[in-house]
């Protein structure tokens, strides 16, 4: 019998957020792989669990994976945890999971907290469709380039940011997204100083600068969707669509349909249709 690789989510702040299943699995496995052994020892001792803990982080993941696969094949069960939240989500484990699956080993998820979902659930921003980008590039040129590419996205955009860069990232965002777009700053989730602000970017910058402590802690940033139609793009669409529709139906019907598709005012579409 081969062992199972469990991917175990742990709390993102409040230790009471550990799940019953996570505790059971951590009690049952032979080995716990942890990003930061000292930190994970604290969690395990809080849970009254004593297990061999091995360091597994971004710098040794590739070197360690072969031996871990060997141990799984020899029948040992192993749990992977990260410092906080769900492993693999901006945390190590991807390479190991891929290799374990290639070898036909069982990889079992033990779900629990993740900062991005926790933040989204209380942000007040659209939660039906979203993109998570992990950490933004630390270099300003690359960060600005990426932010610019997100302006017309029609879903909520989520990323993680370090306290070191929170103010400069918000300042870059202000230049690119302006003062109308709603942004949520979710800080220290599930911890004593949990703060969730959904506001305009200038107001969030004011919040961060009014008191130095406001820049401390762990942050999730969520940018609301661009729900305005890109006028230029819609007009281009209308120009190519109208002649096709008008060839098939009367100007009035064509204008109605074109208005529905492009979001452009019906009368404007009709005027264009009769001028064709």
- Give contact residues for ligand SAM (rule: CB under 6 A): 12-13, 82, 84-86, 89-91, 114-116, 160-162, 186-191, 218-220
Q: How far apart are CA 165 and CA 158, in angstroms?
A: 16
For ligand SAM, give the closer residue by CB, 146 or 259: 146
For ligand SAM, give the closer residue by CB, 91 or 269: 91
3-state secondary structure of 5: strand
Taking CB atoms, the residue at the shortest distance from ligand SAM is: 85
Least distance between ligand SAM and beta carbon 172 (Å): 17
Least distance between ligand SAM and beta carbon 7 (Å): 11
For ligand SAM, give the closer residue by CB, 3 or 13: 13
Least distance between ligand SAM and beta carbon 137 (Å): 14
Are 130 and 155 spatial neighbours (Cβ–Cβ below 8 Å)? yes
Are 158 and 133 spatial neighbours (Cβ–Cβ below 8 Å)? yes
3-state secondary structure of 172: helix
Least distance between ligand SAM and beta carbon 159 (Å): 8
For ligand SAM, give the closer residue by CB, 14 or 28: 14
Contact partners, residue 272, CB within 8 Å, separation at least 6: 238, 242, 255
Q: How far apart are CA 131 and CA 147, in angstroms?
A: 13
For ligand SAM, give the closer residue by CB, 129 or 162: 162
Least distance between ligand SAM and beta carbon 110 (Å): 13
Which residue intervals of the chain are DSSP H helices?
Answer: 20-28, 37-46, 61-73, 94-102, 115-123, 140-148, 166-177, 201-210, 231-248, 251-262, 266-275
């Amino acid at each position: 019998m081969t062992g199972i690789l469990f991917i175990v989510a742990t709390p993102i702040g409040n230790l009471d957020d550990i799940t019953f299943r996570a505790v059971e699995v951590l009690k049952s496995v032979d080995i716990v792989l942890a990003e930061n052994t000292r930190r994970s020892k604290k969690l395990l001792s809080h849970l009254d669990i004593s297990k061999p803990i091995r360091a597994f982080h971004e710098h040794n993941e590739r070197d360690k994976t072969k031996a871990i696969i060997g141990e799984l094949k020899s029948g040992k069960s192993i749990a992977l945890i990260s410092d906080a939240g769900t492993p693999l989500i901006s945390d190590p484990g991807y390479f190991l999971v891929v290799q374990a699956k290639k070898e036909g080993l069982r990889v079992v998820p033990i779900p629990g907290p993740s900062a991005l979902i926790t933040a989204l659930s209380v942000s007040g921003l659209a939660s039906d469709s979203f993109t998570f980008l992990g950490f933004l590039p630390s270099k300003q040129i690359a960060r600005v380039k990426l932010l610019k590419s997100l302006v017309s996205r029609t879903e909520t955009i989520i990323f993680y940011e370090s306290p070191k860069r929170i103010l400069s990232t918000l300042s870059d965002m202000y230049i690119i997204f302006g003062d109308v777009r709603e942004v949520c700053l979710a800080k220290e989730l599930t911890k004593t100083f949990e703060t969730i602000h959904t506001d305009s970017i200038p107001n969030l910058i004011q919040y961060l600068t009014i008191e130095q402590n406001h820049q401390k802690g762990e942050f999730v940033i969520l940018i609301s969707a661009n729900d305005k139609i890109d006028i230029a793009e819609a007009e281009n669409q209308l120009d190519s669509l109208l002649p096709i529709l008008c060839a098939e139906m009367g100007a009035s019907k064509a204008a109605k349909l074109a208005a529905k598709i492009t979001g452009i005012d019906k009368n404007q579409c009709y005027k264009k249709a009769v001028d064709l």
